[in-house]
Structure 1
């Protein structure tokens, strides 16, 4: 009898409650790293026989100076020949062995020929395919040079992903760089300046550096930033600076997502707490801060969020969404409700002071100032007091008090208050349940320009709550919400296209929307992207990219991302089979309450794969998964009871669990019942 493995869950979407802070459980990869940090900077601006480039030398100097400030020993190759580049990589391979972190930065021309990426040294010849490949260096050599590093192995490719002759990708019969596919593509993380088919821009005329180099170096120097947080920051900033025309791309798995570029980062900032705990605190603050402003009408709230991230106080997972909301609000007509409310609302200065105090974690001061402003009739202050009551941050946790504040805020005309008051009405949180009234409240907020309300109206139409079910109306409202800058609506619209609900079924359109949402910080969308790359239906199959997105979701606290990555490690599907890392990620998912996490960890524990064998503990883990609805775990409990593994053998209990598994949808359990002659 084979134990059952977990089915892929379907991500739950927002609806049931007002968003609150989430406690995250993360695990640091064990081991003490050496103090050594090494980097190799390669820039090629002056070419002998291909078009020269203006920015690589300037960008390389900026990256070099930044890494040196961060304690890296940096070697530099400016305009190297092919032989000099190969020799330099060989020497750097020795430097990286046993190091804590190793980074290679390359700025210059790049080309992809027959599925292989090539980096062009100074003496490259591009007359034809043969001369180009013979005179260039395969990018895989960069990955090989980093394999000796323990905590961080990072390649930064500042080259284009298209083929215009005047940019950092060579034209003619070549194509822009592809994602890496060699043996080091998982173990080495590659951050590319641009997405597939995009140009790595040099910036505005007269700019000292490219948008990518600026975002990269600013991100590296943020207080306490981890390698896991860096890509999201860089992507959001480059998209902002290029107005959406360039999005950096990432692939690979971090050995330790909690490693900090800051020499005084999490491990040294809190000697009494491990880096994982400091990261957890930052994420919790991030969730609470975003909850307090996400429905705001004031661009200053979102700017304050971004400033808090720049100070290293929060992880900034919603930075892209904050940037989108700023742009959407600033595009509103001068006479709109939101603009008028910002200038005319009483107590606005107190609201700003409270917001700043909240960002610092001074909840007492925030509560005082918001209370004063609320007494003056300020709807934003009432909304934030409601959030405090809901989350227990700065005020006693009290859903009834939260509902009263949200109603007062809604009555004062604040769209965020309307959204949360509508949720209270729809779900009966702190108020009598009244779906019709909740729908009308959402409609009021949507009419006033609330992107969140537009997304919630879409869900109301999908579920038939407060209005008749109407998938086409739902799709229309989701599109409006997306256009207004609402992040969660992007992935929800993608889900409709994936299933063909209210819109024509279109897997590629769904993938594009998931990708957009994932870059904006939606962790459910990250997981859906991982599924798309793993399945290979809407996009070319790419297990490394799937694992990349699963880890990004996991690092952001998404339990489905944790368990999805664990499955890949357990099965050796696309990744080198590693039961130890599988167990780590299953454990993280289980700590977050994920049924598949309990199931997977139970299976490894029963077999002694990656963890010490303990059948009694496996039974407990399967029970936890079964309690959360896992049909596969129910079947496994039947197997354990039938065989007397970890529990006393009990045929009746085994049959009972097999029946429960069948009822929950596990058809394999029916075979077990048939084998036992049970009905």
Structure 2
């Protein structure tokens, strides 16, 4: 039975991991590991579940194997669930590693996720806060303790709880607020890894065995010695993709600066520290990234190449270092050397290497330019959860690069990338709704997607949202907001923002008229090949005084030196 067809929420496993930067498992000071495992199966008013208790039992066993003290609660009503959470919270000691796992029915309504007790009677979605437990509230309860790390796992129902035996959906009040799939839940904790068994908005599969595909994969990965948390998720994702034929792709979002090894190998590290190579060349979407990421534009090969060459020499079997050195070689224009390193890492199954190789074929560096080959490599990584390559696949479908143009498929892949917080994907989704590409024109949806891209720092989304505010499309016309968003995009190097800022300063819209500032932005745009800006620059410079021209040159010099903003 294909669970993906159901329109109401049937939401699946999500895995929250919050690891504080200072966390380490030292021999002399062991950190306590505590887990609360809840499994609900015998529902009185909703359909009973098949695998919930089996999944809870599997997690109970796996967690005990990796050193957790586990409190197992089965078939709990709301009162029992609340008591269990209170009792568990009171056991938490400072710096403990804390994990809560829930298997059972789950519902998403109005962007909130609810864990459903076995005694819940739901006649209206407004009943949910009263008869079920809010997932975000559970997380807040845990965050209110002094735990060193927090892991929150939701392995919720993969079937529609309101689907009757006749195949028809039972009527429920305010049912329109119910949504398909799991809603993203954000945590403000420093060093956060968030993972779902499938992309937000999608549904997971029950599987053919005694456990869900994700729980089966996760419990196996947890028991693998020597794997860091990041590697555990990569392993889990690969297992799930293979088990479901690519129909279910687990989701993660990480800002970890240290990575803990749950079962260290003899002589191996318990905490994976970021090396100089990681700090110089780590890719934002690399599933094996350790430490903060480095945007390609900011990658300095003078620093990254020697740092990563030293890392590869010191640990030749480490594929992460090979892909980072390949990325540094790419930035240095050494395509053939990058190709060889990526080839080795690809053979070892490293997703970052597939991404790197796709980039080489996309721009013809070290290889003959081949967009179809680039698409093929991106697609391989995208199907295994690589967020940037999900965006790349969506963009190539959008543009018809290396593949037949298909806006419908573009939107599917862009939504997957957006659900992994990839800002550029939100920008392209905004364009799809703005232009009505394989869908109805929806200016509000366009504005919403652009705003989400802006929130994630995408410069193109900043320009596009500014355009909407300038013209009053999908939002109330507001030249000042347009100016603000153009300014943000300009500081990130968006050429279209340069031109628009020049226009606003020239016309005095959203900002005081200032021809000197207009000339500044027109100059930057003209340097990037914008002929329309060059024409305006000529006209603007013609009315500037010699003193203004000297000031203009000083500002341009400051910009070139990176002093601006």
Q: 1:471/1:617 Cα in 2 relative to 1: closer, same or farther (>3 Å)?
A: closer
Aligned equivalent of 1:166: 170
Of the candidates 512, 520, 526, which is equivalent to residue 626 of structure 1?
A: 526
Q: CA deviation digits over 1:200-250, x for unaligned, max 9?
A: 6xxxxxxxxxx65xx65xx4x75599xxx9xx97xx65956887459xxxx
Q: 1:577 to 1:647 in 2, by over 3 A?
A: farther
Counterpart of 1:349 in structure 2 is 269
Q: Are residue 595 (structure 1) and residue 495 (structure 2) matched?
A: yes
Aligned to 2:127: 57
Q: Check if 1:533 corresponds to 2:437.
A: no
Q: Which residue of 1 aligns with 2:418?
A: 518
Which runs of structure 2 are paired with 1:228-267 in the superposition (5 Å)? 239=198, 244-245=203-204
Answer whether contact 1:595 1:626 (CA < 8 A) is retained.
Answer: no
The answer as to 2:234 corresponding to 1:327 is no
2:515 aligned partner: 615
Give the equivalent residue in structure 2 for 1:422.
326
CA 58–387 in structure 1, closer or farther in 2 if over 3 Å, else same:
closer
| 405 and 59 in structure 1: CA distance in 2 versus 1, 3 angstrom threshold | farther
Kindly provide the CA deviation profile for residues 260-303 of structure 1, in whole angstroms up to 9, marking residues without a partner as x. Answer: xxxxxxxxxxxxxxxxxxxxxxxxxxxxxxxxxxxxx9451378
Q: Which of 530, 544, 548 lines up with 2:448 in the alignment? A: 548
1:500–1:608 CA distance, 2 compared to 1 (3 A): closer
Shift of 1:482: 1.6
Q: Quick one: distance in 2 between partners of 1:65 and 1:439?
A: 45
1:404 corresponds to 2:309:
yes
Q: 1:639 aligns with which of 539, 543, 554?
A: 539
Counterpart of 1:494 in structure 2 is 394
Residues 418 and 607 of structure 1, relative CA distance in 2, 3 Å threshold: same
The answer to whether residue 262 in structure 2 is matched with residue 301 in structure 1 is: no
> How far does residue 450 in structure 1 lie from its aligned partner after superposition?
0.8
Q: Is the 8 A contact 1:455 1:481 kept in 2?
A: yes
**Closer, same or farther in 2 for the Cα pair 1:605/1:501, shift >3 Å?**
closer
Q: Say which SS state the counterpart of residue 475 (structure 2) adopts.
A: coil
2:33 corresponds to: none
Q: 1:613 to 1:524 in 2, by over 3 A?
A: same
2:385 is matched with: 485
Q: Distance in 1 between matches of 2:136 and 2:391?
A: 39
Q: How far 1:615 sits from its partner (Å)?
A: 1.9
CA RMSD of aligned residues (A): 5.0
Q: 1:593 to 1:427 in 2, by over 3 A?
A: closer
Rounded to whole Å, the distance in 1 between the matches of 2:480 and 2:200 is: 41
The residue aligned with 2:555 is none
Deviation of the 1:533 alpha carbon: 0.8
Instruction: Measure the CA separation in 2 of the matches of 1:602 and 1:609.
Output: 10
Secondary structure of the residue that 1:398 maps to in structure 2? helix
Q: 1:460 to 1:538 in 2, by over 3 A?
A: same
Q: How does 1:318-467 map to 2 (within 5 A)?
A: 326-328=236-238, 347-350=267-270, 352=271, 354-355=272-273, 398-408=303-313, 412-428=316-332, 434-467=334-367
Greater helix percent: which structure? 1
Distance 2:298 2:537 in 1: 39
Counterpart contact for 1:387–1:402, Cα < 8 Å: no
Distance 1:240 1:500 in 2: 25
Alignment of 1:133-152 (within 5 A): none
**Conservation of the 8 A alpha-carbon contact between 1:524 and 1:553:** yes
Report the TM-score, using the length of structure 2 for normalisation: 0.53
* 1:464 shift after superposition: 3.1
For 2:297 and 2:519, the matched residues in 1 are separated by 35
SS at match of 1:59: helix
Change in 2 beyond 3 A, CA 1:509/1:169: farther
- C-alpha separation in 2, matches of 1:595 and 1:387: 24
Determine the C-alpha separation between the residues in 2 that align with 1:624 and 1:241. Answer: 40
Q: For 1:465, what is the secondary structure of its paired residue? A: coil
Contact preservation (8 Å) 1:299, 1:326 = no
Contact 1:602 1:622 in 2 (8 A): yes
Cα deviation code 1:46-73 (max 9, x no counterpart) = xxxxx96387524346559959x99xxx
Distance 1:595 1:425, change over 3 A: closer
Q: Following the alignment from structure 1 to structure 2, what is the Cα–Cα distance between the partners of residues 631 and 571?
A: 23
Gaps (5+ residues) in structure 2? 1-109, 113-120, 142-161, 206-225, 244-260, 280-285, 550-565
Cα deviation for residue 600 of structure 1 reads: 1.9
Partners of 2:235 and 2:546 in 1: CA distance: 55
CA distance in 2, matches of 1:504, 1:426: 28
Q: 1:596 to 1:330 in 2, by over 3 A?
A: same
Match of 2:470 in 1: 570
Deviations 1:356-390 (A, max 9, x none): xx6xxxxxxx88xx99xxxxxxxx9x9969989x9
Q: Is the 8 A contact 1:514 1:526 kept in 2?
A: yes
Q: Residue 490 and residue 612 in structure 1: after superposition, are their counterparts in 2 closer, same or farther (change >3 A)?
A: same
Question: Is this contact kept in 2: 1:497–1:507, CA < 8 A?
Answer: yes
Tell me the distance in 2 between the aligned counterparts of 1:222 and 1:631: 44
**1:98-177 to 2 correspondence within 5 Å?**
165-166=169-170, 168=172, 177=176
